[in-house]
Structure 1
Amino acid sequence: MTLPQPIRTALISVSDKSGLTDLAEGLARHGVRLLSTGGTAKALREAGHEVTDVSDVTGFPEMMDGRVKTLHPKVHGGLLALRDNADHLAAMETHGIGAIDLLVVNLYPFEATVAKNAPYDECVENIDIGGPAMIRAAAKNHAGVAVVVDTEDYAPLLAEMDANGGATTFGFRKTLALTAYGRTAAYDAAVSNWFAQALEEPAPRRRAVAGYLAQSLRYGENPHQEAAFYVDGSNRPGVATAYQLQGKALSYNNINDTDAAFELVAEFAPEAGPACAIIKHANPCGVATGATLAEAYSRAFDCDRTSAFGGIIALNQKLDGATAAKIAEIFTEVVIAPEADEEARAVFAAKKNLRLLVTGGLPDPRTAALTVRQVAGGLLMQGKDNGHVGAEELKVVTKRAPSPEELRDLLFAWRVAKHVKSNAVIYAKDSATVGVGAGQMSRVDSTRIAARKSQDMAEALGLSAPTTQGSVVASDAFFPFADGLITAAEAGATAIIQPGGSIRDEEVIAAADERGLAMVLTGMRHFRH
């Protein structure tokens, strides 16, 4: 049945009533008979539309608090019957089953119920049964039935009917079926993952992931790769929930880097003071706090001005005009912040290509979440690295304990290390990074690269000595040999923070003592591959 199929009868049962009146008016224009249930039928009648209750079609009332109303042969037969099959048509005639040509259903708001931390029983009551059953039936029979599950498809449906004399084309129905099965799959994934969370089951036998298309992208990491951006409905503040105030559409790499930047800057609570993170290729090239947001940006920028060009800037407080003016001095791809005042927006208005995103808040770095990575033939899933170490949990292992100033910088550097690709080594001083070594195959190389970057910036800034002099160092994992620590000491570092746990810990500790370094162990590592 590839010819356009006229819509004569529509079954509408929706939780989200937005756009319902316009849809009903459009269907009425084509003389479509409306079937409905419960609150939807009431809303349609209040809008002046003639509606037949599904219970009048089935001969059974809605019962069990609405749990049973559409699970009936006269509903599913009307959706599933093949219009060009003589046996099916005979069965419809025998049993008084009328054809349903259009199904409009959006499901009980299960995801929204979970998102508001509703009690267990309330979540269970918001698991839709009849809706998914009807959607799957109608989508399977897309040869003759159109199924709409999203309010944004109301207008395209009516346009399709207007263009085809009240009918829908086969291609249009296939597209609707694709969307419908994606919706039921995502819905079941949400239910399944909620059960896993409720049961505290970290590795259920089957695990599903799902998303909603937020943006079709021009390409992926490279122009020959296709890509799209999907949101998972978790509403975690960040690039997925941000409002873009200006600038070109985000690219795949923009989204990836912006997420990395905002998750990093969220490590620094706004009430503790302004903070800024600058990201390039998913690694920080500068992170700092300051008395003002402008100062935090300037200090982060001074860590590695070369890499900051064309980077992503994340701020933990409302963007103000003074900070925007400083940022506007160089080319920047994206700026993301909880808010932006009118002066900042006016400054950036002259930078037409700069993307400015506001999120309304910061993500909680300690919240439990699931991360997913695809490998050939499978998925790797793990809990998000929400590990945190406070001063009271650190173990001093050297003869000298860190000073209060060193301890402050050690904890700052440790928070940054969590967001640097392994092997990660971070030099920090006065709550600002002064050298970052990322993604190297050996830890000593990361230590050397970070120190060299500091030296290069010192020369560019006209300083008499590298900024690593008097700095502290954070390492995301233990030093397997003393060479990395020795390199840090030669660069001028005075204190080290690292997880410990190497079979050569004693050798590393001895090297620190020989050079008068203070060293603390966290007992926690932050690999980020």
Structure 2
Amino acid sequence: MRYGMHPQQTAAEAAPVHPGRPPLKVLGGVPSYINWLDALNAWQLVREAAAVLGVPAATSFKHVSPAGAALAGPVDEAVARLHGVDPATVGPLTSAYLRARDGDPKSSYGDFAAVSHEVDAELAELLGRVVCDGIVAPGYAPGVADALSRKKNGTFLVMEADPDFTAPAAESREVFGLRLSQERDPVPLSDEVIADVVTGEVPAASRRDLLLGLVVLRRTRSNAVCFLKDGMALGFVSDGSLPFRDNVDHARRHLVTCIAEPGGSIRSDEVEAACRAHGIALARTGLRLFHH
């Protein structure tokens, strides 16, 4: 690695758990410790989102959490003008990244990008014009990786993910001389996770957004709330949870129509009553999904 978490931590390395089978490989640039964390977590997010929802996905990562995430879809005209693309002809992968970056443009300044599909020339040309520090993808069209590697005087990070890599069943980390080990979260995200709708009805488009939100929160640090619309993560609230009805009241003021949350709180009945009063559909997942 270029260095560890900080430049003064000069002794740093990354090695695969199983020699000869790394999940990612570096095609250009020299990553730091945080670059590796961003790439590994961002790739897992877009791979899972694309697998669950069946369309290209992208995320914009900063400091080991998504600043934005989105599925391929329509690009806002203002965003299209800002980035010099035609919203009528922009490709699906470029649209996914633009929509992800538009979730929080300020935080996405100097981001690490991840996309679920092979990077084409259109997306590469866009990446060459925005302030972005690197990208991870399962592949690159001919000549694209070399072109991206020349960005930022050769310091732009180009990383390729192995789409067939399967992580070990257990994971561990060492902190201050102690090794902590646990089973990897084994629960697949699907419609079954949001099937327990205790009030209201969840339309198909909202189910897609709720599932995308669960995928995103699985890779977001700390407890968090994620607001979504039309296949885009529009905002996050760190250290958020839903134990009180005033959260539902506030959500309604922002025109929220569907909520997915773990349930199991001593005030879950109050949350459900608030959703009924506001006509908000409420799905109980029984899952806590966050990343530390």
TM category (shorter chain) comes to 0.7 to 0.9
In structure 2, what is the Cα distance between the partners aligned to 1:359 and 1:389?
A: 21
Q: Is the radius of gyration larger for structure 1 or structure 2?
A: 1
The match for 2:33 is 252
- Distance across 2 between alignment mates of 1:341 and 1:283: 27
Alignment match of 1:407 (pick from 192, 198, 207) = 207
| Alignment partner of 1:370 is 2:170 | yes
CA distance in 2, matches of 1:223, 1:267: 32
C-alpha distance in 1 between matches for 2:19 and 2:115: 22
What is the match of residue 79 of structure 1?
Answer: none
Residues 346 and 487 (structure 1), Cα distance of their counterparts in 2 relative to 1, 3 Å cut: same
2:163 partner amino acid: G
Preserved contact between residue 238 and residue 262 of structure 1 (Cα < 8 Å): no
Call closer, same or farther: CA 1:527–1:345 in 2, change over 3 Å.
closer
State the AA in 2 paired with 1:264.
Answer: L
CA 1:337 to 1:322, structure 2 compared with 1: closer, same or farther past 3 Å?
A: same
SS in 1 for 2:276: helix
Pick closer, same or farther for the CA change 1:386–1:514 going to 2, 3 Å: same
Judge conservation of contact 2:2–2:31 (CA < 8 Å) in 1. no
SS in 2 for 1:232: coil
Aligned-pair Cα RMSD in Å: 2.2
CA distance in 1, matches of 2:140, 2:162: 10
2:225 paired with 1:425:
yes
Would the alpha carbon gap of residues 333 and 383 (structure 1) be closer, same or farther in structure 2, given more than 3 Å must change? same
Cα distance in structure 2, aligned partners of 1:432 and 1:237: 30
**Which structure 2 segments of 5+ residues have no match?**
74-91
Q: Unpaired runs of 5+ in structure 1?
A: 1-216, 444-477
Change (3 A) 1:281 1:290: same
| Structure-2 separation of matches of 1:255 and 1:233 | 17
Shift, 1:250, TM fit: 0.9
Aligned residue type for 1:391: D
Is contact 1:276-1:314 (8 Å) kept? Answer: yes
Residues 91-130 of structure 1 mapped to structure 2, 5 A cutoff:
none
Distance 1:522-1:423 versus aligned 2 partners, 3 A rule? same
1:223 corresponds to 2:23: no
Q: Which residue of 2 aligns with 1:487?
A: 250
One of 511, 514, 521 as aligned partner of 2:274: 511
Residues 1:361 and 2:124 aligned together: no
Distance 1:263 1:222 in 2: 24
What is the CA distance between 1:359 and its match in structure 2? 2.7
1:281 equivalent in structure 2: 63
| Aligned twin of 1:301 | 101
Residue 236 of structure 1 deviates from its aligned partner by: 6.0
Q: Distance in 1 between matches of 2:20 and 2:264?
A: 37
Letter in 1 for 2:69: V
Deviates more, 1:339-348 or 1:318-327: 339-348
1:265 aligns with 2:43: no
- Superposed CA deviations along residues 183-202 of structure 1, whole A, max 9, x for unmatched, are xxxxxxxxxxxxxxxxxxxx
TM-score normalised according to structure 2 size:
0.84
Matched residue of 1:231: which SS? coil
2:196 matched residue in structure 1: 395
Map Cα deviations across residues 77-110 of structure 1 (whole Å, 9 max, x no partner). Answer: xxxxxxxxxxxxxxxxxxxxxxxxxxxxxxxxxx
Q: State the match for 2:259 in structure 1.
A: 496
- Maintained 8 Å contact 1:261/1:314: yes
Runs of 4+ with >4 A deviation: 234-237
1:481, distance to aligned residue in structure 2 (A) = 1.6
**With structure 1 as the length reference, what TM-score do the two structures score?**
0.48
Letter in 1 for 2:3: Y
Q: For the residues of structure 2 that align with 1:346 and 1:376, how far apart are their CA atoms?
A: 40
CA displacement at 1:227 relative to structure 2: 2.4
Q: Greater strand percent: which structure?
A: 2
For the residue of structure 1 that corresponds to 2:27, the secondary structure is strand
1:310 pairs, out of 86, 110, 114, with: 110
Please give the secondary structure, in 1, of the residue aligned with 2:255.
coil
| Larger RCO, structure (CA 8 Å, separation 6 or more) | 2
**CA, structure 1 residues 228+347, in 2 after alignment: closer, same or farther (shift >3 Å)?**
closer
- Asked if 2 retains the 8 angstrom alpha-carbon contact of 1:266 and 1:362, the reply is no
Q: 1:496·1:517 contact (CA, 8 Å) conserved in 2?
A: yes
* CA apart distance, 1:321: 0.4
Task: State the AA in 2 paired with 1:390.
Answer: S
